């Protein structure tokens, strides 16, 4: 299913971990297999052949390199997506940035550089989202099946996910439109595969389940509101940590340019210093990531 | 007299062709230096300082040969141009 949801470039971005610039093709293929079924080689080829792809073959075909570039404006796009917490179209994002007086009317979307930025992913329908959002379709489905619920209000889904997974509102990704187990209309979500099993059951009972579920969801929303005020500081800390991660990542990119400069001027000593700095950065990056993962 | 001039002009044409080829070679070697910069970045990513040092030496070798080749072309091209001018004047 994942292979149909994301573009090939985004799938490759998903398998490159923070700080990784190049990987063996075999490793990429192996990691792709872990996240999606299907022909991994086809995905790799598709990502490599895309126009303006940040992925290239290295010195040999066996190496896939990720040429990351972070544009200044992408940080604003990151903030907007983080704030909204939902996948957005290019036009929606540009409209928001125009509204903030950050870009002009004729500003082309490509110049935001989201394609080459590891923090952004793109869905097959061209909407953009953040890499750290987790897809929770399975969790939602399992929960609803367990509770023998065949339909629920779309507006209740955020409460369900927070209640079940304990994820903050802006960190999950529920995409029923890509999942054949779900069907949705304007206000409700229907669970299809369990429908047949539950058909024979008393409709009244199902309704009661739905009602009770909605009650639980409503109660949870109250709890969440209370919790939210408690966890604001933690959220801020996580946000700061993410900011630090981005800073370290940016420094890594700068270092690459510096290496080229020192290499041209034969300054091996400076490259040695940079290498020491890089090692330190990577250690900090790893530790920070562990903390962020743990906290989120 | 005319046949000597013809032969000299042919020789000059061959020389000009060779100078062009040499310039092409210098260009290719400069491209190689550019690739080396990228290679150095990859080695930096992998933390291979010793390999960067070797690459640096290799790059210096290429650059110094390129310089010598450029000087060679400059020196002999000037001479061949002068010879060519003399030949046209004599015709």
Task: Name the residue range of residue A79's domain.
Answer: 74-131
Of A66, A99, A120, which residue constitutes the final position of a domain? A66
Count up the domains in chain A and report the number. 4
Q: What are the distances in angstroms from CA A112 to CA A75, A120, A146, A244? A: 9, 11, 43, 21
- Same domain for A212 and A143: yes
Query: What pLDDT, on a 0 to 100 scale, did the predictor assign at position A196?
Result: 47
Residue A286 lies in a domain: yes
Residue A228 lies in a domain: no
Question: B-chain residues within 8 Å CB-CB of A21?
Answer: 45
B9-53 pLDDT, tens digit each: 788 888 888 888 999 999 999 999 989 998 999 999 899 999 999
Query: What pLDDT, on a 0 to 100 scale, did the predictor assign at position B28?
Result: 92
Closest chain A C-alpha to B30 CA, distance in angstroms:
12
Query: What pLDDT, on a 0 to 100 scale, did the predictor assign at position A165?
Result: 62
Residue A245 lies in a domain: yes
Task: Name the residue range of residue B30's domain.
Answer: 2-90
- β-bridge partners, A173: A135
- Same domain for A239 and A206: no
B57 in A contact zone (CB under 8 Å) = no
Please give the model's pTM, rounded to 2 decimal places: 0.48
Question: B-chain residues within 8 Å CB-CB of A56?
Answer: none
Query: What pLDDT, on a 0 to 100 scale, did the predictor assign at position A228?
Result: 47
Query: What pLDDT, on a 0 to 100 scale, did the predictor assign at position A168?
Result: 61
Residue A227 lies in a domain: no
B52 with A268: Cβ contact below 8 A: yes
* Closest of A46, A41, A51, A47 to residue A66, by C-alpha: A47
Q: Are the C-beta atoms of A102 and A77 separated by less than 8 Å? A: no
Q: What are the distances in angstroms from CA A276 to CA A99, A260, A271? A: 43, 16, 9
Residue A276 lies in a domain: yes
Of A66, A89, A117, which residue constitutes the final position of a domain? A66
- Same domain for A237 and A215: no
Query: What pLDDT, on a 0 to 100 scale, did the predictor assign at position A194?
Result: 54
**What is the distance between the alpha carbons of residues A157 and A117, in angstroms, rounded to a whole number?**
30
Count up the domains in chain B and report the number. 1
- Same domain for A157 and A118: no
A266 with B49: Cβ contact below 8 A: no
Q: Which pairs from A192-195 meet CB under 8 Å and 24+ separation?
A: A194/A144, A194/A145, A194/A148, A194/A150, A195/A150
Residue A252 lies in a domain: yes
Residue A81 lies in a domain: yes
- Same domain for A144 and A201: yes
CA angle at residue A192 from A188 to A194, to 5 degrees?
A: 115
Interface test with B, best of A22, A56, A263 (most B CBs within 10 A): A263
- Same domain for A203 and A154: yes
Task: Give the 3-state secondary structure of chain A.
Answer: CHHHHECHHHHHHHHCCCCCCEEEHHHHHHHHHHHCCCCHHHHHHHHHHCCCCCEEECCCCCEEEECCCCCCCHHHHHHHHHHHCCCECHHHHHHHHHHCCCCCCCCCHHHHCCCCCCCEEEECCCCEEECCCEECHHHHHHHHHHCCCCEEEHHHHHHHHHHHHCCCHHHEECCHHHCCCEEECCCEEEECCCHHHHHCCCHHHHHHHHHHHHHHHHHHHHHHHHHHHHHHHHHHHHHHHHHHHHHHHHHHHHHHHHHHHHHHCCCHHHHHHHHHHHHHHHHHHHHHHHHHHHHC
CA angle at residue A25 from A114 to A43, to 5 degrees?
A: 55
- Same domain for A170 and A198: yes
Query: What pLDDT, on a 0 to 100 scale, did the predictor assign at position B36?
Result: 92
- Same domain for A217 and A179: yes
**What is the distance between the alpha carbons of residues A26 and A62, in angstroms, rounded to a whole number?**
7
**Predicted confidence pLDDT, tens digits, chain A (296 residues):** 666 788 888 888 888 877 777 888 888 888 888 887 777 888 888 888 887 888 888 777 788 888 887 777 888 888 888 878 788 888 888 888 888 888 888 888 888 888 888 888 888 888 998 888 878 788 778 877 877 777 777 777 776 676 666 666 556 777 888 887 888 877 788 887 655 445 545 545 554 555 555 555 555 555 544 444 456 787 778 778 888 888 888 888 888 888 988 998 889 999 999 999 999 998 998 888 888 777 76
Query: What pLDDT, on a 0 to 100 scale, did the predictor assign at position A192?
Result: 77
Query: What pLDDT, on a 0 to 100 scale, did the predictor assign at position A203?
Result: 47
Residue A205 lies in a domain: yes
**What is the distance between the alpha carbons of residues A153 and A169, in angstroms, rounded to a whole number?**
17
Query: What pLDDT, on a 0 to 100 scale, did the predictor assign at position A274?
Result: 92
The listed range with the strongest mean pLDDT (A50-59, B55-64, B70-79) is B55-64
């Amino acid at each position: 299913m994942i292979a149909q949801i994301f573009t090939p470039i985004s799938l490759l971005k998903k398998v490159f971990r923070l700080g990784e610039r190049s990987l063996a093709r075999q490793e990429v293929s192996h990691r792709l297999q872990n996240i999606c079924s299907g022909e991994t080689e086809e995905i790799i080829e598709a990502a490599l052949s895309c126009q303006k792809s940040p992925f290239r073959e290295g010195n040999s075909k066996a190496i896939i390199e990720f040429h990351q570039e972070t544009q200044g404006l992408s940080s604003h796009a990151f903030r907007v997506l983080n704030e909204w917490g939902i996948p957005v179209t290019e036009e929606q994002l540009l409209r928001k940035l125009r509204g903030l007086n950050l870009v002009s009317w004729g500003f082309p979307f490509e110049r935001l550089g989201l394609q080459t930025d590891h923090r952004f992913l793109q869905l097959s329908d061209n909407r953009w989202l953040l890499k750290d959002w987790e897809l929770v379709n399975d969790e939602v489905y399992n929960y609803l099946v367990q509770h023998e619920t065949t339909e629920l209000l779309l507006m209740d889904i955020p409460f369900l996910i927070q209640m079940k997974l304990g994820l903050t509102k802006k960190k999950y990704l529920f995409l029923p439109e890509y999942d054949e187990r779900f069907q949705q209309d304007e206000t409700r979500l229907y669970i299809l595969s369990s429908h047949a099993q539950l058909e024979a059951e008393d409709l009244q009972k199902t309704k009661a389940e739905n009602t009770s579920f909605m009650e639980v969801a409503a109660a949870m929303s109250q709890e969440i509101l209370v919790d939210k005020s408690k966890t604001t500081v933690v959220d801020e800390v996580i946000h700061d940590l993410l900011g630090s991660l981005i800073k370290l990542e940016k420094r890594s990119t700068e270092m690459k340019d510096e290496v080229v400069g020192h290499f041209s001027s034969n300054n091996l000593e400076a490259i040695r210093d940079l290498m020491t700095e890089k090692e330190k950065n990577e250690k900090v990056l790893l530790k920070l990531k562990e903390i962020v993962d743990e906290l989120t | 007299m005319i046949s000597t001039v013809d032969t000299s002009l042919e020789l000059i044409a061959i020389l000009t062709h060779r100078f062009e080829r040499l310039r092409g070679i210098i260009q290719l070697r400069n491209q190689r230096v550019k690739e080396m910069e990228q290679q150095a970045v990859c080695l930096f990513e992998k933390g291979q300082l010793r390999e960067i040092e070797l690459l640096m030496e290799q790059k210096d070798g290429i650059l110094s040969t390129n310089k010598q080749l450029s000087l060679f072309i400059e020196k002999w091209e000037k001479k061949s141009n002068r010879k060519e001018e003399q030949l046209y004047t004599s015709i």
